[in-house]
Chains A and B, each alone.
Chain A
Amino acid sequence: MDGKKTVTIYVEGKPHQVEEGKNLLDACLSLGYDIPYFCWHPAMHSVGACRQCAVKQFRDEKDTRGRIVMSCMTPAADGTRISINDPEAVKFRASVIEWLMTNHPHDCPVCDEGGECHLQDMTVMTGHSYRRFRSRKRTHRNQYLGPFVNHEMNRCIACYRCVRFYNDYAGGRDFGVFGAHNYVYFGRYKDGVLENEFSGNLVEVCPTGVFTDKTLKRHYTRKWDLQTAPSICVHCGLGCNTIPGERYGTLRRIRNRYNGEINGYFICDRGRYGYEFINNENRFRFPVRLERHGDGEKTGTFGSGEVIPHIKSILQRARGVIGIGSPRASLEANFALRRLVGKERFYQGTSAGEARIMADIVNILGNGPARTPSLRETESCDAVFVLGEDLTNTAPRMALALRQSVMQQPARLAAGMKIPRWDDKGFREAVQNNKGPLYIAHPHGTKLDDAAAAVFRGAPEDIARLGFAVANLLDDNAPGPVKDLPGEASSLAEEIARALENAEKPLVISGASLKTPALIHAAANIAFALVKKGKPACLSYAAPECNSMGLSLMGGAPMEDALKTVQAGEADTVIILENDILAGQMAPDQAEALLSARNVILIDHLPGRTSSMAGIILPASTFAEGSGTFINSEGRAQRFYKVFDPSGDIQESWRWLRDIMVDMAYPGASGWLTLDDIVSSLSAEIPGLRAVANAAPPEGFRMAGMKIPRQPHRYSGRTSMNAALNVHEPKPAEDHDSPLTFSMEGYAGQPPSPLIPRFWAPAWNSAQAVNKFQPEVNGPLRGGDPGVRLFEPKENALMDYFGKEIPQAFTPEKERLFAVPVYHIFGSEPLSSLSPAIAGRIPAPYIALRPEDAEKMRVPEGHVIELPPFGSLSVRIDGSLPEGLAGIPYGLPGLKDMELPAWINSPAAAKKGGQ
């Protein structure tokens, strides 16, 4: 228990050592005892609302009468004596549940929570099995809460977990508790979409079926029927751990997979509801050939065994082959492409701007003195400065972590009053609205601003200048002082510098989203200066995609250089990996020029703009249909596993590339039979990726000689699900890549943390079963949390300050506006945008204008203007924008993009096209 003081408590007379400062419920669950509970949550602590966790406490050895206490509200102090099995306590708990159930509807068979319901589990645990209450049940009307969460209020037991999560933990404002006594109602003040980006967690937080997953409802499957495997979210750079579940060949839902270092108990709604692109009916399932004859286009598929020889003949006749990698594809896929085309002809599938920023980040985190924190550490940082990242929309889970980090300094206040952190009501009462120092500098208002001590608005350059000024204030040797800093900014810089300097663990955050290298450098300078002062400063960068970090570590020139190679006639064949280059990254005319190379071979899962210009398309697996490795923005290599065997010819991209190489007799290629083979090749070849091989156990790993089943032991319908097609059951798919198996047979106990396919333990069917996988509740999983960190600052690492030239202050112009990209959690990420639930939340393309500018142009809110190259945009008035700036949403489907930030002609000139 890493140096923390321990105390002795006695449970049923047996002494146990537990960490000091816990409550009894937490301590007993950590010790492996079962105590039923509802309102306590490991991340949200105790409020003592449900009275379910009652135990008997005794004064001393001689006390035999004892008294009933709520274990979640009683400290595990030295010498505490309790009994869980005391008959009076048992009876008390049984009557509490009976009483909670008096109004509970007779819904289990039609309730989506059934089979993973904490209320069911606790009812069974307390032994209540027969309804004696004969009076009427109170009923409630439900609300429409948007496309993510279903509401069935009758099932509520008034534990208050939902409000405590939504409002207190996640900072939501459009949800609450209404009414009184047995009428209490949990919902919105009226029907409407839940606004908070973490609303989906209500599904797991609520111990009953009041809040359930609305996307799951459309293809409902019980937990025991879902085939699951450990996976990684692909919808931003944070790499939250997830559990996708499959049934009958389609993905049914995503659940949080606890990783104490990253997502903990919560993921964002993009990660939870973005999965349905996998079930899209337009998926490529077989290799496709697209031939253009004059104006006409002909598509056809390849017969089995035809496509590889066909590609071989193309590649053999080609005058130069180049490969375009992808920040969304696995390390293995990128590596295989790099091997096929050669290191010099492998291009990162990102723009020059992004590639340069990512290279800087890798350099700073890999060689600099500041440590990149996990999200768990982020929560423990007590002063934070965010430079130019709208985290709620670009790295959502990090924004949720910052909402906890602002509680760090006020926590001292509560500690001074001797209020333990687990006493959540007391704690919040003590700290009131106090918030620790969080400073956000961004061109426009962000959702996290309400948690900030102060915000700064400015163009990206001005934010960088603020950052350089802070660094210079912390250390004279850092570049600066920044010339002509406006008075307000310089006093803010001083405030921020002081806050960071006085913090125990300061954190600086920036990222790639504004495509401004100066921001990256300014953030690094601040962190370096703090380290010089002896602070354990942390430095975080939000990466744009799930494997941006991995791609950058692999290296390669940006896409613009690929175009040059093609235009110089050095290559006429382009292989593109899981990348819709026409839909982002590159200016459309450039991308089109690149795609007009003689042969374009695309390996991808879904049609996009690029696929319509490709000659050959190979069907690639998505994250749920293949295994591989991603590196998240923290620099943590994490393995994701195939959840189910897809139909058609779909396979991992690296396997397609390997097949081509084997056919072309590349040396060594035929040795790549399994994932382990290619992982060991890549970790041997690329120095920065050596540790990747340790991210998860190899295929040969066994528990008691057995593989780990992807299907729960109660998986149903095995001998019937395919019987309509053929009454003879097919052989189950084999997995040569991992110690998991596509079966319900195998090791029944707990596997090592990177291989946990689902959280389930005897008597614990709900998501609350996680506590059985942690030696300490809310701590790391048994054996350590999954993934390996690639970056650790070396002892006495030093790095020169950046920015010999501090950027010039931004000067607004009369005729033009400087457009910055505005990110949207729902819309700015292309894969999730294809999922119907997310699609329903994507805003229509718009341009954000200052009220002054809009007035000058005489365009009211909602007015539609034509603005090349973007197309039709409706006007949104945004008072938070500084002078000279406009905002344009990033990456929305249907919005023709150019790389932002950039100067655009003031829409006034183009206004005529409007209504």
Chain B
Amino acid sequence: MLSVLKAIWAVLLHMFRPRVTVQYPEERPHIPPRWRGRIILSRDPDGEERCVACYLCAVACPVDCIALQATEDGHGRRYPEFFRINFSRCIFCGFCEEACPTYAIQLTTDFEMGEYVRQNLVYEKEHLLISGTGKYPGYNFYRVAGLSVKGKDKGQAENEEPPVDLKSLLPGRMESEQ
């Protein structure tokens, strides 16, 4: 008897508290920029695909919902032939973003991904790839890597000497001597 009265009292008190229910979608909640929502693939500042198909996001993913296949263009630049995320499995943990060495894969503030058909939650590269750099402007992996790609020969990456001339007998050029 007493417990019932207690419960009624509690309900009564709640009637005077402020409302927390948000009238979504009319009213938009505040989403912090580091929110882990829909995953995208970004491009580097030159507008090329950032993803180098290294498979690190795929192996980091605890639910194994990322699958891709690496391929190369004619000049040694590696990129994904296909890149698929099964969002019906994704738990938005952000491990893929943490694992990505190129800032290609990023989680965004968009969480409105509801679908009536589960199959529609399978996103391919064309659904994932955006045209900008996303959260991380500036970084271009291929400008740092030693691999040569179109428009960047050996020795033209950041912090690189020109390629060694093997036929030369002169001792190596040291940084301090320049």
Residues of A within 8 A of B (CB): 105-110, 114-115, 134-142, 152, 154-155, 178-179, 181-183, 185, 217, 219-222, 224-225, 248, 714-721, 723-724, 726-728
Contact = CB atoms under 8 A, between A and B. Distances in A.
A333 to B, nearest CB: 33
Given A109-B56, A139-B155, A222-B55, A720 B69 contact: no
A140 B161 CA distance: 9
Nearest to A715: B64
A720 B69 CA distance: 12
B69 A248 contact: yes
B121 interface: yes
Contact of A219 (B69, B161, B163, B172): B69
B128 interface: no
Contact of B164 (A108, A183, A248, A718): A183
A717 B66 contact: yes
B43 interface: no
A45 to B, nearest CB: 28
A134 B175 CA distance: 10
Given A106-B146, A717-B64, A723-B86, A138 B58 contact: no
Contact of A137 (B66, B86, B101, B146): B146
A183 B68 CA distance: 37
A136 B164 contact: no
Interface string B153-167: 011010111111010
Contact of A716 (B55, B78, B175): B55
Most buried by B among A136, A142, A715: A136
B84 interface: yes
Contacts of B163: 139-141
Most buried by A among B63, B124, B146, B161: B146
Contacts of A220: 53, 70-71, 78
Across the A-B interface, give the 9 residue pairs with the lowest CB-CB distance, nearest first.
A105-B146, A717-B67, A109-B54, A720-B67, A716-B58, A718-B64, A135-B175, A154-B146, A720-B86
Nearest to B143: A106
Given A137-B160, A225-B58, 19 more contacts: A106-B146, A107-B146, A110-B145, A114-B54, A136-B160, A137-B146, A140-B163, A140-B164, A181-B171, A220-B71, A222-B55, A716-B55, A716-B66, A719-B64, A720-B66, A720-B86, A721-B84, A727-B88, A727-B118
Most buried by B among A110, A114, A714: A110
B172 A183 contact: yes
B122 A719 contact: no
Contacts of B65: 717, 719-720, 723
A719 B89 contact: yes
B147 interface: yes
9 contacts: A109-B56, A109-B102, A135-B159, A142-B154, A154-B146, A181-B172, A220-B70, A717-B68, A723-B84
Nearest to B171: A181
Contacts of B40: none
A144 B58 CA distance: 31
B102 to A, nearest CB: 7
A137 to B, nearest CB: 5
B129 interface: no
Nearest to A712: B59
Nearest to A104: B146
A138 B172 contact: yes
A313 B101 CA distance: 62
Nearest to A728: B118
B38 to A, nearest CB: 16
Contacts, number: 138
A502 B101 CA distance: 63
Contacts of B21: none
Contacts of A182: 172
Nearest to B82: A724
Contacts of A718: 64
A109 B52 CA distance: 7
A139 B162 contact: yes
B48 to A, nearest CB: 14
A717 B121 contact: no
B141 interface: yes
A222 B59 contact: yes
Contacts of A716: 55, 58-59, 61, 64, 66-67
A108 B144 CA distance: 12
B3 interface: no
B119 interface: yes
Contacts of A108: 54, 101
B85 interface: yes
B98 interface: no
Contact of A185 (B72, B121, B164): B164
Nearest to B79: A110
A727 B146 contact: no
Contact of B119 (A219, A248, A726): A726
A768 to B, nearest CB: 20
Interface string B63-107: 111111111100000100000111011000000000001100000
Contacts of B78: 110, 220
Contacts of B55: 115, 221-222, 224-225, 716
B154 A139 contact: yes
Contacts of A719: 63-65, 86, 89
A184 to B, nearest CB: 9
B99 to A, nearest CB: 10
Given A106-B145, A140-B163, A727 B119 contact: yes
A716 to B, nearest CB: 4
